Structure 1
Amino acid sequence: MEPFIVSARKYRPQTFKDVVGQQSITNTLQNAIDQNHLAQALLFCGPRGVGKTTCARILAKQINSDGTEQENEDFAFNIFELDAASNNSVDDIRNLIDQVRIPPQVGKYKVYIIDEVHMLSQSAFNAFLKTLEEPPKHAIFILATTEKHKIIPTILSRCQIFDFKRITVKDAAEYLKYIAENQGINAEDDALHIIAQKADGAMRDALSIFDRVVSFSGSNLTRKAVTENLNVLDYDTYFEATDLILEHKIPNLLLLFNKTLSLGFDGHHFISGLASHFRDLMVCQHPDTITLLEVGEEAQQLYREQSKRTSPSFLLQGLNIANDCDLKYKTSKNQRLLVELTLMKLASIDFDGEKKNPESVALQNKTIDFIAPSAFYKQIPKVASSSNQTIEKSVENNNTETVSTKAEPAKDSISSETKTAATIDHTSTEETNVVSNPQVKLEEKKPEPLNTPETNDIKDDKKIKINRPTKRVSGLSIKSLNAKKQHELNRIEVVIDEKNLPRENFTEEDLRKHWADFIEIIDKKGQKILASNLHTDVPKLKEDFKIHIELPNSTMKKEIEREQFELMEYLRAKLNNHFVHLDITVNETTAKKFAFTPEEKYEKLREKNPVIDLLRQEFDLDL
């Protein structure tokens, strides 16, 4: 019986064309040989099993070939391999340097391949520096390592560095398919892709796994045999789990997880694989990213079909939940419960991939913002504030009027708990002249009243009917839907035409008089802070009816801006001018004008009357 040779040795590439997945490096080396432009010190670095030593041997053989040698000539006398892991002392490097001086007997070059060069000691590196920088013309050094960061910079600067990359799943699967055909093995594409994925970018590992699986399954290599032998969780499990999640079948999902655990897989393996499955479904949803899916053609079709039944928002939430479980798994004291809780969360995601909003949605974004012109101020209570206002006239046969608002909410608009619908009822034609400007005429059409216990109806003439809900309605109840429907039916829209609003001229004295009256009114109401802030500066009248005041700090400015609605409505009504507006500036230097502490108050008094200082000295008074 012939001795068995492992595939990693049997199918080791003999030319640069046979090297898998390193085309850029092999092309560079081939061109350097052809153009006689090869460096004398080369460093091959990269992960294990990607072809570093193989390329070094092919290079050593090609630079010594002149076309006259036999086909199986390996130039054994010209190639020296040194394992730096076991020969890492200074004496080993000195022996190597002594051999370098002797020219080759056959061929043109002597090639020294030092594998795992990062294992050399510091002193061995230093002893090797001079020879590596200026080697004899017949010597070429090829250093191979998996950990380039451990090599000292003085060595790196003397070498031409080639970075080998990991073998892609596609390239590894194609090479495995070529080997399977040579050996007469019938292998499924999905089985070869699983082997390539398990190899993690190392061709040597892929060949070793291939030999192991072939020994298990014989000449018929199936996906089921590969997953069973390699202890890999088949993607059919994840397809089934995703279907159960989409159907919200939590009991079946927990039974599937229990079955997976009984096969010897741990929960961490299951949940990380499920997250990867969600990622694969997401890349299937766009034609540009489908190339990122590294599976066989049959599996790709399954992924495409299931991705059509999932939404991007569902997959994104699923990835977040699964990734959170993955991060917490190692620190959890009850790992199985953690995974089961994660699966329950995944199965609880809504069909559209969105969680239900627990907040009330019955009257969401339905706040009525209403600002009456100055003439309405005495008759209509304050509902909300807004700066953009227009009035729209609608004349009908009967003497009624319809008022509706369309205004963007301001900062101090009414909250969602006190959504208000305001209607104005008038029964006589005389009441249409409530606006001070006689050109503005309003007509009304009464809306249907709300049939809810929260409605407060005022039936008297010249009154305002306010429909004000007194308690919050849950957004998840049938009652909330009825409330929302009634709210839509009774929504009032007001359109205000600014051309017909009052615009009378007034003097700065009139402004200051009404300003002082307003401060006195709010002071009696108990709004001491606002009154004090308004008393800080005397208002000045600017162009375009701008009221300007100057404050010592931004805190006072924010307080006045927050409460300015009542002030401006008062001034507009008193001055009969709807276009007055407030302009506030902050000048911190003005803070010196105000006395806050006892010492500052004393200084102010002394400036007005210096005799106070003599009085304090005479009676020996203290502050």
Structure 2
Amino acid sequence: MEPFIVSARKYRPQTFKDVVGQSAITNTLENAIENNHLAQALLFCGPRGVGKTSCARILAKQINSDGTENQDEDFAFNIFELDAASNNSVDDIRSLIDQVRIPPQVGKYKVYIIDEVHMLSQSAFNAFLKTLEEPPKHAIFILATTEKHKIIPTILSRCQIFDFKRITVTDAANYLKYIAENQGIEADDDALHIIAQKADGAMRDALSIFDRVVSFSGKQLTRKAVTENLNVLDYDTYFKATDLILQHDIPSLLILFNKTLAKGFDGHHFIAGLASHFRDLMVCQHQETIPLLEVGQEAKKRYAEQARKTSHSFLLKGLDIANEADLKYKTSRNQRLLVELAVMKLASINFDGEKKNPESVALQNTTVDFIAPASFYKNRKATIEPVVPTLKNTSDTTPNSSENKTENITIETQPHIKTEEVSSVATNEIVSETTHTDISETTETQIKIPVKKIDIKSPAKRVSGLSISSLRAKKAHELNKKEDFVDESQLPKTPFSEAEMQKHWADFVEILDNNGRKILASNLHSDVPKLKNETTIWIELPNGTMKKEIEREQYDLMNYLKEKLNNHFVSLHITVNEETAKKFAFTPEEKYEKLREKNPAIDVLRKEFDLDL
């Protein structure tokens, strides 16, 4: 029985053409070898399992080949591999430098491949600098790392850098298909795509997963076998969940989520996968973005079929809800409830992306399109005639009736809407401001108010703000609008004395103090107001903050003074004098000096008892 060799070793690339998904780098290296334009130090950086070490070995082999050697020749004597993770000291680098001086016995070049070079210590990097910059003509260094940012800049500046990219799902799936055909394994495209997605851009991981799944399922590789072995949620779960969301079937959706949890998956996995499913559906809605869908052909058909059932706005709203739940999952105390709430929100979205509103659904097909708010009548209390509102049928109204002199607001109720519900909204204010009268339920309510007639059965037609009719209406409104001009000669201008003004000022401060507005009262009390001319009141404050406070609140003060003094032309002028601040705030030293001026014996007291400020 032959020993088993894992696919990652068995199918390791032997030439640049075998390298998957790195065509830009392999073409560059081939041209550099052909044109003798190869740098003395190369840095291969990128994620794990994308072909860095493989490319380094292929490069080392090709630069020593002259076409006369054996095909199986690997030039093992010319290739030196150093694992910097375990050989990261200065002594290891010095030993390497000593070997570099010796020319190769076979071939032209000695190639030194240093893997995980970012693990070298700082002193080892510094010891390596000079040799890396000016190596012998027969030496080429190839450094490989997964974390380029950990390498010091002086090393980076001496290397030609090649950034390896993650291998795409399509490239990985195609290579897995090639391997499956070589091994005589029947594999579904969807199964290979799931393996490629699980590998997350690393070909070595994809080959390891492939070996594991083949060991589980044998020569028949199906999507079901792959999902069971890898413990990933199948597409079917998300297709079914989306169908239930579109049907607004919340109970079945919650049961599906519970079954998913019973299989060992957590809620975070479910909601994140559902968001990705919505993203894939959105990608399928446009022909240009279909290549972004990295799934098999059968899955693409199912995605396209379900994408036709959904709208763009629905998917956007669904993505927003699912993404919000995804972000809040780790910080939530009740994670299952969070996902269930998100699922119920998703099932409550209409196809146009709007959430269902039970009130709007209940009021569909009704003729009540507008109900005047209570504030509409509040603003017109003065225009309501002192007449008790009457409720009567239209059959009792005659054309010659004297009650028809004023226009009426007619509120017509429908059979399925209770009259008291409408009347409570439209007539509550009027009934409370007139007399309390028993109002019986009828089919039509008439309230006498001399206002413009509003027919709520047929709402006004909405027009654009830029239409000709709206511009005409606006112009007519401006022409009809009359501004109220006040004749200043008719306003009171009674002369008053400074004593009267100060008395009313003090009264206002006392009112503020009684009402709890202590700060404003204190600011107004900080200086005695003076009358500079007949109507201007002057007050001096110690700082600008107090001035701003009074200016902000001076409206009530001036109205009070104007009313009490019977003079509409009273004004207030506020000045700031910083020196007056010392009248109100003394330091401990200043207080002590004041006391000593009044009684010098206080010094004796302080010295006798050894007091301090």
Report TM bin, short chain.
Answer: 0.5 to 0.7
What does 1:126-145 correspond to in 2, within 5 Å?
126-145=126-145
Superposed displacement of residue 350, structure 1: 2.4
The 5-angstrom pairing of residues 54-69 of structure 1 reads 54-69=54-69
Aligned partner of 2:522 in structure 1 is none
Q: How does 1:142-541 map to 2 (within 5 A)?
A: 142-356=142-356, 418=376, 463=406, 465=408, 472=425, 484-488=456-460, 514=487
For the 8 Å contact 1:132–1:141, the answer to whether it is kept is yes
Superposition deviation, residue 75 in structure 1? 0.4
1:582-597 correspondence runs (5 A): 595-597=572-574
| 1:102 to 1:310, Cα distance in 2 relative to 1, 3 A | same
* Secondary structure of the corresponding residue to residue 596 of structure 1: strand
Q: 1:209 to 1:365 in 2, by over 3 A?
A: same
Q: Tell me if the contact between 2:118 and 2:147 (Cα under 8 Å) persists in the aligned partners.
A: yes
Change (3 A) 1:467 1:130: same
Q: Among the aligned pairs, what percent are the same residue?
A: 74
Paired letter, 1:135: P
Counterpart residue type for residue 457 of structure 2: K
Structure 1 distance, partners of 2:77, 2:374, is 90
CA shift, 1:418, in A, is: 3.0
Deviations 1:497-524 (A, max 9, x none): 97xx899xxxxxxx9875666999xxxx
Question: Would you say the 8 A contact 1:248–1:348 is kept in 2?
Answer: yes
In structure 2, the partner of 1:45 is 45
Look up the SS of the partner of 2:68 in the other structure: coil
Instruction: Note closer, same or farther for the CA distance 1:317–1:459 as it changes in structure 2 (3 Å cut).
Output: farther
- What whole-Å deviation, never above 9, does each CA across 1:19-77 have from its counterpart, x for those lacking one? 00000000111111111110000000000000000000000000000011011000011
What displacement does 1:597 show?
4.6
In structure 2, give the amino acid aligned to 1:595: L
User: Residues of 2 paired with 1:238 and 1:517: CA distance?
Assistant: 79
Give the aligned length: 442
User: What is the rounded CA distance, in whole Å, between the counterparts of 1:496 and 1:136 in structure 2?
Assistant: 88
Following TM superposition, by how much is the alpha carbon of 1:266 offset from its aligned partner in structure 2, in angstroms? 1.3
Does the CA contact (< 8 Å) of 2:78 and 2:107 recur in 1? yes
Query: Counterpart of 2:446?
Result: none
Contact 1:61–1:74 under 8 Å retained in 2: yes
Structure with the higher helix share, 1 or 2? 2
* Counterpart Cα distance in 2 of 1:599 and 1:114: 76
2:509 equivalent in structure 1: none
* Partners of 1:517 and 1:291 in 2: CA distance: 81
| Structure 1 residues 459 and 77, CA gap change in structure 2 (3 angstroms) | farther
TM-superposition CA deviations, 1:223-282 (whole Å, max 9, x none)? 000001111110100100111111111111111111111111111111111111111111
* Aligned CA distance change for structure 1 residues 461 and 350 (closer, same or farther; 3 Å): closer
Instruction: State the Cα distance separating 1:319 from its structure 2 match.
Output: 1.2
CA distance in 2, matches of 1:41, 1:450: 100
Evaluate the alpha carbon distance shift between residue 599 and residue 158 of structure 1 in structure 2; reply closer, same or farther with a 3 A threshold.
closer
Mapped contact 2:16–2:55 kept (Cα < 8 A): yes
CA distance in structure 2 between the aligned counterparts of 1:70 and 1:41, rounded to whole angstroms = 27
1:231, 1:138 → 2: CA distance?
A: 51
CA displacement at 1:487 relative to structure 2 = 3.8
Q: CA deviation at 1:215?
A: 0.8
SS in 1 for 2:77: coil
Q: In the TM superposition, what is the alpha-carbon distance from 1:7 to its structure 2 partner?
A: 0.6
C-alpha separation in 1, matches of 2:325 and 2:243 = 20
Task: Write the distance in 2 (CA, Å) between the matches of 1:125 and 1:303.
Answer: 52
Cα 1:359–1:96 shift into 2, 3 Å: same
Distance 1:463 1:162, change over 3 A: same
- In the TM superposition, residue 470 of structure 1 has moved relative to its aligned partner by 7.4
Quote the RMSD (CA, aligned, Å): 4.0
Question: Deviation of residue 484 (structure 1)?
Answer: 4.6
Could you say what secondary structure the match of 1:191 adopts?
helix
Distance 1:2 1:311 in 2: 57
Deviations along 1:386-415, one digit per CA (max 9) or x if unpaired, are xxxxxxxxxxxxxxxxxxxxxxxxxxxx98
SS in 1 for 2:573: coil
TM-score, with length taken from structure 2: 0.65
Q: For residues 496 and 331 of structure 1, what CA distance do their matches in structure 2 show?
A: 53
Superposition deviation, residue 204 in structure 1: 0.4
Distance 1:497 1:123 in 2: 83
- Give the whole-Å Cα distance in 1 for the aligned partners of 2:5 and 2:182: 14
User: Which residue pairs with 2:121 in the alignment?
Assistant: 121
Tell me which amino acid in the other structure corresponds to 2:376. Answer: T
Query: SS at the partner of 1:595?
Result: strand
Matched AA of 1:485: K
Distance 1:597 1:358 in 2: 59
Q: Distance in 1 between matches of 2:78 and 2:299?
A: 49
Shift in alpha-carbon separation, 1:113–1:496, aligned structure 2, 3 A: closer
Could you say what secondary structure the match of 1:104 adopts? coil
1:486 to 1:87, Cα distance in 2 relative to 1, 3 A: same
Change (3 A) 1:10 1:459: farther
Contact 2:370 2:456 in 1 (8 A): no
Equivalence for 2:27: 27
Amino acid at match of 1:418: F
Q: CA deviation at 1:595?
A: 3.3
Match for residue 110 of structure 1?
110
Partners of 1:346 and 1:175 lie apart in 2 by 38
